[in-house]
Amino acid sequence: MTDSKPTTPTTLTTPTTPTIPTTPIIPTIPAKPAIPALPAKHSTHDSADALRIFVDSTAVYTYVVDNETDEILMVNNHYAENYGISVSKMEGRKCWSLVNGEDGERCESCPRDFDPDGAGAFDPGPFTVESYNPTLGIWGKWTGQGVTWVDGRPAYIVTVVDISEEKLLREELSRLAYYDKRMGIPNRAKLEKDLAKRPAGNYCLIAFDYISLRYINDAYGRSLVNVFLDTVIDWIRSFDLQQYDVYRVDSDEFCILLDNADMLSASGLADRLNERFHEPWEVQMDGETTSISCRVAVCVIDGRLGFNNTEDLLAIVVRTLEIAKETGVVSIYDKNLDAMLKRDLALEISLKSCVHENMAGFDVYFQPIVDPQREKWIGIEALCRWDSPEFGRIPPLVFIHMAERLGVINKLGYWVLDTAIKTCSRLGLHKIDGFFLDVNLSPSQMSDEALINRVLLSLQKHGFPPRCLSLEVTESQDLKLADYSHTTIERLKSLEIMVALDDFGTGYSNFNNLRNLPVRILKTEKQFIDNIVTDDYQKFLMKVLVDLAHAADMRLIAEGVETPDQARELLKHKTDYLQGYLFSKPLTIAELKNHTQKFQTPDPLFAQIKSAPLELE
């Protein structure tokens, strides 16, 4: 007579070690399968003995626990030995007492506390839990399966694998991936991960950017700057804040993520941060105190506005910080700013589309440069204009800055250069004695290794002589003329191509080492001209600029001349060239073609300019 078979037979096999999950301490319970029963042998006693032989043969911690009472029904020798007690003393105890002590409570990750269906019924599905066992001093992975015990009770058979080394390795990899190597605080990747887990409206984000950290690093050294950055973070952490963290998003950009915060409190913290940087920081290093002054741009982002993804949010942070840099105050990203930046985003899309679609909507205009000694036009400056199909005429300062930010400025700039050279060549302007074409180059173009080849290609293609070309560059806070490639400047000079420095005397360009500047032409900004007729200081300053240029064997172009009185004043100081609406507005190619005689014929306007006696100084 053969033994009867159970409805759902289960064959016990050696448990396999499951794959380590990426998200720790989270049980996973699939749909309910049929509860497997232990195989029926000659008797209940025989079945338990067979299971004990099996579990004792493995090097994996194994035990069986009653689903209702948490009582350990069976445990293998390996598990008992590591607890330092006998199998008989472990069996019969509550399973959680091995971790939390006899007076403890059920483990937080107990599978009995997870009820996917809400029915309160025994769930036999497999589960996996990672947690720390303080008694054994290990991180373990508990893998369990619901079974029917030999006497019919619902139970779990559980295996435990020591994953302490894997846990440490994962933590180290996480630290490298999600934390700044030097400062030890969360980085951009961690911020993106944390933001992705937050629902809209549940947070505020404060971002601050060190405006002049590069120059502070040059002045004080990297070591002191590192201590300075740590000092600022320690100051922020001294606030009585709840549920926040500080992230290093870039080398000089940081974010404070505030959970469950409103815009009023977040804005107050941002104002406090901004005001603190109005005072110097006292930094301690190697027993010495150094006073460091630094400016920051600060902005606040309202999480209630909602964002498509973290990439869009961080792009908005960059844009909002730019506004803060321009205004010098904390920039608040609210509904109004949201609407403005969305319009800017649409404008950016339009710009990129036009640049990549044969420069649709772009045109090159030309404004004459006048030689007051000859009383004729002597040169022209090429100016880019853009009519967006969606937004109409866009100011150059807007779309040029946008093109730089979007990385399309080189393509746009080389198109302007080629169009201007082609126009001048077709009109035969290069045949006029002394004529020169002035074309603006972006800092990106001046740093481009292909610049020389691109310029030569356009010159050769259109038969335009290099001596008639002047490439105009502008200094800025972040880029001085000395930073440009020395090889590039010398190569341009060897080709007889002139280099002009725009906005000389304003902002970031200065008089230091003027004689050594690798340029032949200096251009002054309109602000030097506006009040020159009535402002004695501007008169004196213009005289100094002209004298300095001539002493360095350079020529000076005064831009922004709008009235005969201004021109008359500039002639007193022997300004080399004049440019402005007094002589001509920027002209289209067709308009320029109709005015080429002005390069040959004296401008009658000079009779009016010179009608009053010139008091040369």
120 DSSP β-pair partners:
none
Q: What is the mean pLDDT of the chain?
A: 83
Residues 212, 157 share a domain: no
pLDDT in tens, 206-240: 999 999 888 888 888 999 999 999 999 999 999 87
**pLDDT at 104 exceeding the cut of 80:** no
The tokens for 38 are 């232990």
In a domain, 499, yes or no: yes
In a domain, 348, yes or no: no
Q: Is residue 393 within 8 Å of residue 385, measured between CB atoms?
A: yes
Number of helices followed by number of strands (H, E) in the chain:
20, 21
Distances (CA, A) of 458 to 12, 417, 422: 80, 8, 8
DSSP strand E in 126-261: where? Answer: 127-133, 138-148, 154-162, 203-210, 244-248, 253-259
Q: Which one of 178, 211, 230 terminates a domain?
A: 178
Residue 318 main-chain phi, psi, to 5 deg: -60, -45
The tokens for 532 are 């020159």
What pLDDT, on a 0 to 100 scale, did the predictor assign at position 144? 85
What pLDDT, on a 0 to 100 scale, did the predictor assign at position 461? 97
In a domain, 616, yes or no: no
Number of domains in the chain: 3
Residues 399, 260 share a domain: no
Q: What is the mean predicted confidence (pLDDT) over 308-333?
A: 88
pLDDT in tens, 396-423: 999 999 999 899 999 999 999 999 999 9
What's the CATH number where 397 sits? Answer: 3.20.20.450
- pTM exceeds cut of 0.75: no
What's the CATH number where 257 sits? Answer: 3.30.70.270
pLDDT in tens, 24-44: 333 333 444 444 444 443 344
**pLDDT at 311 exceeding the cut of 90:** no
Residues 397, 409 share a domain: yes
What pLDDT, on a 0 to 100 scale, did the predictor assign at position 364? 97
pLDDT in tens, 154-166: 888 888 888 888 8
What pLDDT, on a 0 to 100 scale, did the predictor assign at position 506? 58
Q: Which one of 161, 178, 195 terminates a domain?
A: 178
Determine the Cα–Cα distance for residues 280 and 295; give it in Å rounded to an integer: 10
Of 83 and 507, the one with more pLDDT: 83
Q: Which one of 130, 160, 178 terminates a domain?
A: 178
Distances (CA, A) of 272 to 108, 208, 268, 301, 343: 41, 12, 6, 16, 31
* Among 590, 527, 592, 532, CA closest to 560: 527
In which domain, by residue range, is 290 found?
Answer: 179-333
Q: Which residues contact 357 (CB under 8 A, 6 or more apart)?
A: none
154-191: burial string, b at 16+ Cβ within 10 Å, e else: bbbbbbbbbbeeebeeeeeeeeeebbbeeeebbbbebb
In a domain, 342, yes or no: no
Residues 185, 174 share a domain: no
Residues 301, 288 share a domain: yes
Residues, the chain, total? Answer: 617
Among 213-217, 453-457, 476-480, top mean pLDDT goes to 453-457
pLDDT in tens, 251-301: 899 999 998 888 899 999 999 999 999 999 999 998 899 999 999 999 999
Residues 510, 396 share a domain: yes
Q: What is the mean predicted confidence (pLDDT) over 583-611?
A: 92
Q: Which residues contact 594 (CB under 8 A, 6 or more apart)?
A: none
pLDDT in tens, 332-364: 998 888 888 888 888 999 999 999 988 999 999
What's the CATH number where 32 sits? Answer: 3.30.450.20
In a domain, 169, yes or no: yes
**pLDDT at 123 exceeding the cut of 90:** no
Residue 379 main-chain phi, psi, to 5 deg: -160, 180
Q: What is the mean predicted confidence (pLDDT) over 121-140?
A: 77
